[in-house]
Amino acid sequence: MPPAIETEDLVRTFRLRRSRQHPSGAPVVALDGVSLEVQRGELFGLLGPNGAGKTTLIKILVTLLLPTSGRAAVEGFDVRTQAQQVRERISMVSGGEHSGYGLLTVREQLWMFSQFYGIPSGEALARIDRLLQVVGLYPERHRKVQQLSTGMRQKMNLARGLLSDPSVVFLDEPTVGLDVGAARDIRAYIRAWLADRPDRTILLTTHYMSEAEELCDRVAIIHKGKIVACDTPARLKRAASGGSYFLVDTERLDGADFLRRLPGVARVDSTERDGQTELRLRLAEDGAIAGVVAALTRHGRHILRLQKIEPTLEDAFITLVGQRLEEADREATAE
C-alpha cells in the first residue's frame, strides 16, 4: 500500500514581476528539493516560519498548484497527472478561512459543500448534524454564517473539511488567530477524529511549537523551502539537547549581551514581561550557570526564579535553524 503522502525532490519556483521590492525579477524558490513520506494514520506536522514553504507544499498536494519539478503523490496518485483521483480523497481547511456565503445558515453552508462531493441530501444532513454536535456548533446550526464569531467559523470550517470523510486532510494553520479556548477545542476535535479513524491521515502546518508538540506524531521542520529535520517531537528535542537549558527570571535587564559573552553560554533569549526579564539559556554544561548567576549579581539584578528545564521543540528549532521562529518570521516579513 503506498504512503498517504509522498514527495520526491519537489521544487516550486514563482516568477515575479520586476518591481521595487524585487528589482532583479529573479524567480523565488518556494520549495527547494522537498522529499517527504507520510504514512497512513499519521498526524504529520509541518513546522516553519512565514514564507518557509508550508502553504506552497500543501497547495501542491491538494492539486491547486503544479510543482516546477519533482514528484508528489497522495495515496499513490500523482498530483500532476491524477488530480481527479487525488481530489476524491482529500480536503483542506485553512486558518482564517472565510469561505462560503454569509447569508446562508451554518447547516445550509455545509449542505452546499456536501453537494460538491456528491453526497445525497439526506445522508449529508445527517452527517452535518453529527459533525456539528462534535464541534459544539449544533445549537448554532440555524444561525447565519455572517453572525458567527471567528472561533465558531473555524469550527464550521473544520466540519466542512471532515464532511466528505476524506482519507487525507490538510490543515493549513487551523488555529491561527483563534483565542486559547477555541484553539484548544479545534486541537481536541482533530485528535478525536483521527483516533476514531486510524486509517486516515492529517497533514498539519503550523508555526505554533506547542501545537506541533501536542498534536503531531512526526514533525518536519521546514525553512527557506528545505526540510531541515523530520522526526518525532521527542527525537527532535533529544537531538537539540546538546547542553543544559535554564529559565531565569530577574529584575528588568537592559540588554543581555554581557551574558552572551560568558564562557559556556551558547545562547540567550530574553523576553520582557511585567517589568521583569525572562532569560532562556542554553549552556554548554550545568556548571556554566554559576557564571550567569555571578554576572547578574555583579549587574545588581536579583534572581527571582532559576529553573533547569527540558529542551522543547523550540530549542530543537533554534538548534537546527539558528534562530527562533519569531526571528525567522520577522526576517521573512522584512524580505
Partner 1 sequence: MRARRVWYAVRGRAYPRTVGAAREPSWIFYDLALPILGVLAFVFVYRALGAPPQFTGYVIMGGATVAFWMNVMWNMAAQFYWEKHQGNLELYMMVPCGLVPILLGMAAGGAVATTVRAAVVVGVGVLLFQAPLAVSSWPLFALIFALGLVALYGLGMVFSSLFLLWGREAWHLVGLLQEPVYLVSGFYFPVRALGLWVGMAASLIPITLALDGLRQVMFPAFHPGLLPLAWEVGGLALLAVLFLFLALRMLRFMEQMARQEGRLSFRW
In the complex, the residues that contact partner 1 under the rule CB under 8 A are 12, 14-15, 56, 59, 62-66, 84, 87-88, 90, 92, 94, 97-101, 103-104, 108, 111-120
Least Å distance between CB 90 and partner 1? 7
Written as nine digits, the cell of 96 is 482564517
Least Å distance between CB 118 and partner 1? 4
Nearer to partner 1, 30 or 132 (CB): 30
Nearer to partner 1, 205 or 312 (CB): 205
Least Å distance between CB 325 and partner 1? 23
Nearer to partner 1, 88 or 278 (CB): 88
Least Å distance between CB 61 and partner 1? 10
- CA 99 – CA 8 distance, rounded (Å): 32
- State in Å, rounded, how far the first CA of the chain is from the last one: 42
Least Å distance between CB 178 and partner 1? 16
CB atoms near residue 120 (< 10 Å): 10
Whether 246 and 305 have beta carbons less than 8 Å apart is answered as no
Whether 48 and 223 have beta carbons less than 8 Å apart is answered as yes
Nearer to partner 1, 16 or 309 (CB): 16
- CA 328 – CA 223 distance, rounded (Å): 9
Least Å distance between CB 285 and partner 1? 48
Least Å distance between CB 117 and partner 1? 6
- CA 29 – CA 83 distance, rounded (Å): 23
Nearer to partner 1, 19 or 307 (CB): 19
Least Å distance between CB 87 and partner 1? 5
Nearer to partner 1, 114 or 175 (CB): 114
Nearer to partner 1, 59 or 223 (CB): 59
The CA-CA-CA angle for residues 221, 224, 226, to 5°, reads: 55
Nearer to partner 1, 56 or 319 (CB): 56
Whether 250 and 296 have beta carbons less than 8 Å apart is answered as yes
- CA 194 – CA 185 distance, rounded (Å): 14
Give bridge partners of residue 250 from the DSSP assignment. Answer: 277, 303
DSSP summary character for residue 3: -
Least Å distance between CB 86 and partner 1? 9
Nearer to partner 1, 160 or 200 (CB): 160
